[in-house]
Amino acid sequence: MPENRLCTKDINDALLMVYSLLFSFALRKKTVPVLMRNCSVAFWLGVATFFTATAQTDTALTLPMASVVGKQLQWLGLPQRVQWQADSLQGLEHLQTFSEYLASNQGLFLRTYSPGGLATLTWRGLSAAHTAVWWNGMPIVNPMNGVPDFALLPLGLMEQAQLIAGGAAALYGSGALAGQLTMHTTPIDSAGWHGRLAIGHGSFGAWRHVARLSHRKGPMAWAVGWARHYADNDYPIGHNRRQQWARLRVANWMADVQWQQGRSTWHAFLWWQQADRQIPPSLTAALTHDVQQDQSLKMGFRYQQRSSRGLWKALVAVQRDAILFYNDLVDSAQSQSTRAFVNAEKQWMTTTQWQWRVGTTWDYTVGEADAYLTRPQRQTFELLASAKKSWPGQRQALWFNARLTWVPLSGKPVPSGTANWRIGLWPRWAAHLALNRNFRLPTFNDLFWQEASAKGNPDLKPERAIGAEGTLEGPMGKLTIYQMKVNDWILWQPVNAIWQPLNVQVVWTRGFDFEWQHAVQWQDQVLKGLVQLHFVRATVVQRYDRTTDLIGKQLIYTPQWTARFQLTWQRNAWHVRLWQQFVSKRFTTSDNNPGLAAPPVWLTHLAWLWHKKSWSLELQIQDLFDRRPQWLRYRPLPGRSLWLTATYLF
């Protein structure tokens, strides 16, 4: 009976919170705009066979940078995720962006024009707009274009980051179809002074610096961070030519303040970013001196209160983005957006087997652009709920997540949800099944762009997707098989010589992700092996105009195969790492013309790392055999290059 009374009281409190917040938002919605305006395969198979044949049955490896973790009151669409902690990064990793780390260390494919240039993730056969990115509990993807630029996300400034695969719009809202990246800069829990300093120099005029300092004493903690990336990028591009227009200057500043009083925690955070990047032309285009300058300010305040059985959370955040583009043909094109994000929720446990969550979210965005005729605004209201049932003795759990998203004046509410079941099969084996329903709202550019050659479409419908996946994991690896069908896929295409976005087709993606890792140890030496394989077929299965010429064709710039193979030797303070990346051919036309496809790419990298107490030095050779890849056709990247990195942690 006490547990039932607690459950009823918690539900009543949560519902009262939801209604009061929605009511207060409705009263103040007229004042919000005013406030916002001011404010090699055989070799690796041989290695794998050797490891499997010679290892003891009880030997297993857990990589420090890819540990599977789970916590109470964590409402993730999948119970597993790749997680990085700041103190597990090594050498150049402290200085990398997420685009470089995901490609080099996770075997994923990112489209990029040049090192440090615009980088977008093509994951599980879906588009660049189908991965959500959050920081400290707030969504940070630019609402104007809806595409996260992973080259502007500094890995070394984050205390923790998680990469979550699979559809999870019920948890993270619009756009979370392929997966989700979450980042955190909360000050560490240990008392005293902590910090890290990293500096790196690379080929072609590249310099990178990262510094982060934090302190905790009693209930008070704070952290500040700074990162800078400069590069001339004057690398050879063939025929005695060098790249002459790919310079970049990127700087990031971060600050966090946290205060704990009893069971209550207050956390204020800020991130300021500036980027000035030249966009190199393709080998077949004339040099028009394209430049893009980005500025972004993100800040927020988060409150959290714990009880013996639950947790209250509230967040208020603001994001301001501005983009300036210019070249020899366009004097300038500017766009800017301001976003306010409010979230409140409660999580609680009624017994050791049942967990619950309810919450609400309000998201307000206003945008301005030279190509807009008006100053459009959009409000989004969301209700979310979760329930989880665990059977600890049976190593089994079943849970559901639901979200209802409503955009006033834009039609019916959009539902999304996930259903998950996880069960332990044998002592070190487990299986996981998931069903999910997801969505993506049209971006501001999709809706409101107005130029002579391109026009937005205010009648666009949200993309809607249904997906399913299953995972089998064991002590040395895991295999995930997935599929997803996306209806009302939004695509820009010419209509009477004018480009317009339309809901044109249904896309079906299906594939698998496989990871195997193992280690062999003798005396003071350790040999580790890692294999990561990703396969996907992403094809058009229906065209709304009833044409059939594109049915069954792979989406452009979507490789069927990507892979990564790694071998690491460690002895005392010395580490030697050899790894390879493979990306299969990418079609560049919708009809999959093989003569115009970008060729497959094999890259080999080598690194030496010395680590002693708080110091580490690393020499890394990227593209060891000087292949000079083109992730995008006719846009070459550097060939063989060197990086020397020094890191100090305290």
496-502 average pLDDT score: 93
DSSP string, 108-155: -EEEESSTTS-EEEE-TT--GGGEEEEETTEE-S-TTT----GGG-BG
Query: What pairs with residue 365 in β-bridges?
Result: 339, 378
DSSP calls for 66-120:
SB----TT---SSS--EEEEGGG--GGGGG-BHHHHHHHHH--EEEESSTTS-EE
Secondary structure class of 60 (helix, strand, coil): coil
Three-class DSSP category at 8: helix
The whole-number pLDDT of residue 410 equals 77
Q: In the structure encoding, which two tokens stand for residue 242, read together?
A: 């060098």
Instruction: Name the strand (E) or helix (H) holding 245.
Output: none
Average pLDDT over residues 244-258: 97
Strand pairing category for 354-369 and 377-391:
antiparallel
Q: Is 16 helix (H, G, I), strand (E, B) or coil?
A: helix
CB 398 within 8 A of CB 353: no
What is the average pLDDT across 546-558?
A: 95
Beta strands in 327-462 (DSSP E): 333-349, 354-369, 377-391, 396-406, 414-426, 429-440
596: left (phi over 0), alpha (psi -120 to 50) or beta: alpha
pLDDT band at 81 (very low <50, low <70, confident <90, very high): low
pTM of the model: 0.87
- Whether the predicted pLDDT of 49 surpasses 70: no
* Domain boundaries 2-649, corresponding CATH code: 2.40.170.20
Residue 295 pLDDT: 97
Tokens describing residue 17: 């919170």
- Note the pLDDT tens digit of each residue in 255-301: 999 999 999 999 999 999 999 999 999 999 999 999 999 999 999 99
| Element housing 38 (H / E) | helix 32-38
Alpha carbon distance 550, 472 (integer Å)? 34
* pLDDT over threshold 90, residue 322: yes
DSSP state of 235: -
Residue 551, token pair as written in the block = 């049915």
**Contacts with 209 (C-beta within 8 Å, 6 or more apart), sequence order:** 95, 198, 199, 200, 226, 227, 228
User: With contact defined as beta carbons under 8 Å apart, do 180 and 478 qualify?
Assistant: no
The torsion defined by the Cα of 180, 183, 188 and 193, in degrees rounded to 10, comes to 150
What pLDDT score was predicted for residue 91? 87
Q: What is the pLDDT of residues 359-418, one digit of tens each?
A: 999 999 999 999 999 999 999 999 999 999 988 777 899 999 999 999 987 778 999 999
Q: d(Cα 474, Cα 458) in Å, to the nearest integer? A: 48
Assess contact for 293 and 323: CB atoms under 8 A: yes
pLDDT value of position 83? 67
Q: Which of 217, 102, 222, 110 is nearest to 162 (CA)?
A: 102
In angstroms, rounded to a whole number, what is the distance separating the alpha carbons of residues 36 and 337? 10
SS (H, E, C) 281-327: CCCCCCCCCEEEEEEEEEEEEEEEEECCCEEEEEEEEEEEEEEEEEC
Residues 127-136 have a mean pLDDT of 95
Query: Percentage of the chain with pLDDT > 90?
Result: 76
Decide: 294 and 321 in contact? Cβ < 8 Å.
Answer: yes
* Rounded Cα distance, 380 and 141, in Å: 15
Residue 68 pLDDT exceeds 80: no
Q: Please, which residues have CB within 8 angstroms of residue 214's CB and are 6 or more apart in sequence? A: 187, 188, 193, 194, 195, 221, 222, 223, 224, 256
Tell me how far the alpha carbon of residue 444 is from its chain's centroid.
21
- The closest of 380, 339, 381, 388 to 360, measured between CA atoms, is 381
pLDDT at 426: 84
Specify the 3-state DSSP secondary structure of 446.
Answer: helix
Average pLDDT over residues 21-29: 37
Taking the CA atoms of 561, 492, 341 and 141 in sequence, report the sign of the dihedral they define.
positive
**Alpha carbon separation from 369 to 129, 140, 332, 513 (Å, rounded):** 20, 19, 11, 40
Map residue 55 onto helix, strand or coil: coil
Give the residue among 171, 154, 329 at the shortest CA–CA distance from 250: 154
E strands in 496-612: 498-522, 525-543, 561-571, 574-583, 601-612
Tell me the one-letter amino acid at 507.
Answer: V
Q: Which residues pair with 578 in a beta bridge?
A: 567, 606
Angle, alpha carbons 185-102-647 (nearest 5°)? 60
Higher per-residue pLDDT: 189 or 146: 146
Report, as an integer, the average pLDDT of 424-450.
94
Give the domain ranges of the chain: 2-649
